[in-house]
Amino acid sequence: MANPKGLLIGGLLLFAVGTTLLVISLVLFPSVLTKVGNKAVLSNLIVDSSQSTRYDDWQGDASIENSYIQYYYMWNLTNPQQVINGGIPNYEQIGPINYKYEWTYENVSFIDSGNQVSYQQNKIYIYTSDGSVVDPTTTMITNINPAFYGLMSQLSVAAEEINAQFHGFVTFTVEELLFIIGSGGQMKYFLDYLSSPQSNFTELAYAVNSPKQFTIELNRLLNELGPNSIYTFLDGWANSTATGPTGAGNWTGMYLGEDTQISRESASQILNISNPMSILHSQAVNYWLSACFGNQTQSSILQSNLGITNSQLLQVCQWWLYDFSPKFTDSVLMEMCNVTSMTEVAYCQYLTAQPLGYKSISSFHYTQEPFALGAIEFTMVAQQNFTLPAMKLYEILFTGNLTLLNANNIGLFLNPSNASLWPLNNNDYAIVQEYILTMGQTYTRQTIMDQFYPTSGFIATRSMYDWLWNCSDPLLDFLGQGIDCSLQQNNTLEQLSTIYTGKSNSSMINQYIIYQGYSVVPYWNGTVPVEGVTESGQFAPGQSPDTLTLFEENTLRSIDLVYVEDSTVQGVDTKRYFLKNNSFSASPVFYSPVDGLTNMSSTLNPPLPIFISLWDMYEVPTDIVNKVQGQNPSFNLSGVPLDLEPITGNALYYNLKLQINFYIANDSLMFEPQTTYQNLTSDCYYPLFKVGQTGTPSSSTISTLKSQFKDLHILKLAPVIMAAIVGGILIVIGAIMAFFGYRRLRKVAGYEIIQ
């Protein structure tokens, strides 16, 4: 039987222990288990090595599983001609078009014992028809052409320098300089044209030079045939008779090769050099070439005057241009120019005019030749001959790094201080210089205005896809400036960045240390450090701050988002933040003179007046917004929300909304009177496109997150409940033991009294 006193003491001890456990369960365990819970959260967030639980997700898999969409609305200028004439630009919004946004981290390196990680991010955009309302490859957009403006801006600087050198005696407008440097493209155009089958230059060279060669060969053959053999030749030439080609003398290449039934009289007229309609007469070159290339009017004239049919005429053409001339005239032309091909003979003509007897190709009219503004040959334009041979000139002027077929080298060449870069004497240098300046006023001007201004001048029309991803500006190509003028880039590998992993301090997770090689942004007018988390959507876990700071990669600065209200995303409780008001206010540090417009020109090479704003120029002064029509600035349309799940620090939803605008300043040289764009609406911010980037988790991500929350909840409550239960049981048992021990002690005491 239990000792009553021991039972009482034991009961009181159990009661005390039970009470203590109950108190601990209510006070101590939640604090301890919060640490356990936080550790469980961090184990799913911290990536401090390639063996970390979430390494694959962090390295790029999460961007594939979840929905990251970059979407675009393009601004379409509906009244381009009115804008050229000085009218107010009117825009319509077209879109959206959606692109799945994925990324991978490459060249990953964990440093500082896993507290930091460096990487290069590769961004990929994949078009998706889901949610896209138009086809970007077929939907055409008209707008201001940044590529053309960039070109003209550079020429404006050059014009100021050149005009200053001449002290006002000569003044060049920007457009005049464009035409002059465009002469490089014009020269390439001429070279390509002359060496192409389209020009029929070889046939023209034959038509000019073959009469002399035919006369030589005819005299040779007549001498071989003997006295009074002209009639024998004429019959043999026209009809391939037995007494002709198969008889005495070398007839190779000297007869038509078939029985054409051309009469002796007609043959005599065709081959009589004194006959103005003869194929040998210098004045008949245009007639014959035009007829040979299908001109029915010229063909009828020749048929009537020579007494032949159209079929017979074409047989003569075939023999003359593709039988006799290649055999007898090719070698003469190549020897004349000291070259080895007829293509090089064409180059020889372009430089010296020698193959066509020092006549310009523009003086011949046999097809639709593009030579209506006069001679195109160097020596014909300058009225002076080169001292160097043709192909040596070709090598100096049109090959190598200093080729004059692009605008940059034209600019260098026209500066006399650079003349020594090209091994030309003063005479030859002067010829080339004169040629460039003359072409700028004639052919180049016409080519640029007629062929390029309508498609790639200040206003251009391209497909949405070409504007964004695949822009190749025809005018820049003509100038030899093969520059990608796309407004966006795809599949790009960025420079090295470094961030904190959060291993030793979870509040620093995902914070930038270095962004693409910089700890301080080098483009601004002051010290602007790289601060804030990356745009991947991971913030510090277990916090609900009033302000979130991230480093915004498009505007290259830190931006703040402020807490506004509670929210939910797919059943998960979140905190909603919005981009802080006036985040892009005017600032000399960022070279931004106007509220709401972020000047990005200093970050671009070459610098272009690109300004980033919120959608529809929200927060930009009204007087500036109203310089164009079609925008509708409002917070509802332009606000930038972010929904943060505070336990894990995950942004479960965000929608970044930025607009790319292009500023055209009132440049006096660019818009000089009498120039094409003198009335173009200037001192105006033209909207180009709206870009949005949104991220939402997949259903599996949400399910996993909810499961983790449930596990954490159980993890926190189970020990508390167990401690409370055990403590409660001990209290009850202790109370019972104390009660019975006390009663027995009372009985023992009573017995002692009775006794």
**Ordered DSSP codes for 68-115:** EEEEEEEEEES-HHHHHTTPPPBEEEEEEEEEEEEEEEEEEEEEGGGT
Asked if residue 617 lies in contact with residue 663, where contact means CB atoms within 8 angstroms, the answer is no
Q: Which residues contact 223 (CB under 8 A, 6 or more apart)?
A: none
Instruction: Summarize pLDDT for 196-221 with one digit per residue, the tens.
Output: 988 899 999 999 999 999 999 999 98
Whole-structure pTM value = 0.79
Q: How do 684-696 and 650-664 pair as beta strands?
A: antiparallel
Asked if residue 40 lies in contact with residue 715, where contact means CB atoms within 8 angstroms, the answer is yes
Instruction: Summarize pLDDT for 536-556 with one digit per residue, the tens.
Output: 889 999 888 999 999 999 999
The count of other CB atoms within 10 Å of the CB of residue 751 is 9
Res 736: pLDDT: 54
CA 749 to centroid of chain Cα atoms: 103
Between CA 59 and CA 50 the distance in angstroms is 9
What number of CA atoms fall less than 13 Å from residue 338's CA on the CB side? Answer: 8
| 3-state DSSP assignment of residue 311 | helix
Average pLDDT, integer, range 114-140: 95
Instruction: Summarize pLDDT for 696-754 with one digit per residue, the tens.
Output: 776 666 666 565 554 444 434 334 434 444 454 545 455 555 555 555 555 544 444 43
pLDDT above 50 for 24: no
Res 722: pLDDT: 41
| 3-state DSSP assignment of residue 362 | helix
pLDDT above 70 for 385: yes
CA triple 261-262-263, angle to 5 deg: 110
CA 220 to centroid of chain Cα atoms: 64
The count of other CB atoms within 10 Å of the CB of residue 604 is 13
714: left (phi over 0), alpha (psi -120 to 50) or beta: alpha
Res 389: pLDDT: 96
Between CA 150 and CA 157 the distance in angstroms is 11
Asked if residue 659 lies in contact with residue 687, where contact means CB atoms within 8 angstroms, the answer is yes
Q: What percent of the chain has pLDDT over 90?
A: 63
Average pLDDT, integer, range 576-593: 95
Q: Which residues contact 226 (CB under 8 A, 6 or more apart)?
A: 248
Between CA 264 and CA 235 the distance in angstroms is 6
Average pLDDT, integer, range 246-263: 79
Average pLDDT, integer, range 614-635: 97
Res 28: pLDDT: 40
Cis (ω within 30 of 0) for the bond into 606? Answer: yes
Res 565: pLDDT: 96
Q: Which letter does DSSP use for residue 596 in this model?
A: T
Average pLDDT, integer, range 6-24: 50
- Helix H or strand E segment including 346: helix 342-352
pLDDT classification of 353: cutoffs 50, 70, 90: very high
Q: Is 526 exposed, middle or buried (0-12, 13-18, 19+ CB in 10 A)?
A: exposed
Tokens for 121?
Answer: 């991010």
Which of 501, 499, 492, 495 has the alpha carbon at shortest distance from 530?
Answer: 499
Tokens for 289?
Answer: 């070439």
CA 313 to centroid of chain Cα atoms: 53
Which of 527, 575, 203 has the alpha carbon at shortest distance from 369?
Answer: 203
Q: Contacts from 579-588 at CB under 8 Å and sequence distance 24+?
A: 579/614, 579/639, 579/640, 580/547, 581/619, 582/619, 583/559, 584/555, 584/612, 584/613, 584/614, 584/619, 588/525
Res 241: pLDDT: 62
DSSP lists the bridge partners of residue 500 as 116
pLDDT above 70 for 182: yes
Instruction: Summarize pLDDT for 30-46 with one digit per residue, the tens.
Output: 444 344 445 666 777 89
Asked if residue 568 lies in contact with residue 574, where contact means CB atoms within 8 angstroms, the answer is yes
- Helix H or strand E segment including 691: strand 684-696
Length of the chain as a residue count: 755
CA torsion through residues 360, 361, 366, 369, sign: negative
Asked if residue 641 lies in contact with residue 578, where contact means CB atoms within 8 angstroms, the answer is yes
Res 543: pLDDT: 86
DSSP string, 268-292: HHHT-TTSTTSTT-GGGHHHHHHHH
Which of 582, 609, 610, 580 has the alpha carbon at shortest distance from 596?
Answer: 582
Q: What percent of the chain has pLDDT over 70?
A: 84
Res 37: pLDDT: 46
Tokens for 544?
Answer: 């609900």
Res 130: pLDDT: 93
pLDDT above 50 for 15: no
pLDDT above 90 for 243: no
Asked if residue 293 lies in contact with residue 322, where contact means CB atoms within 8 angstroms, the answer is no
Res 704: pLDDT: 60
What number of CA atoms fall less than 13 Å from residue 38's CA on the CB side? Answer: 16
**Mean pLDDT across the chain:** 86
Q: 123-135 in b/e burial notation, b at 16+ Cβ within 10 A?
A: bbbebeeeebeee
Q: Which letter does DSSP use for residue 49 in this model?
A: S
DSSP string, 150-183: HHHHHHHHHHHHHHHHTTTSS---HHHHHHHHTH
| 3-state DSSP assignment of residue 350 | helix
Q: Which residues contact 446 (CB under 8 A, 6 or more apart)?
A: 373
Q: Is 634 exposed, middle or buried (0-12, 13-18, 19+ CB in 10 A)?
A: exposed
Three-state SS for 383-437 is CCCCCCCHHHHHHHHHCCCCCCCCHHHHHHHCCHHHHHHCCCCHHHHHHHHHHHH
Which of 65, 95, 366, 82 has the alpha carbon at shortest distance from 206?
Answer: 366
Instruction: Summarize pLDDT for 273-326 with one digit per residue, the tens.
Output: 999 999 999 999 999 999 999 999 999 999 999 999 999 999 999 999 999 999
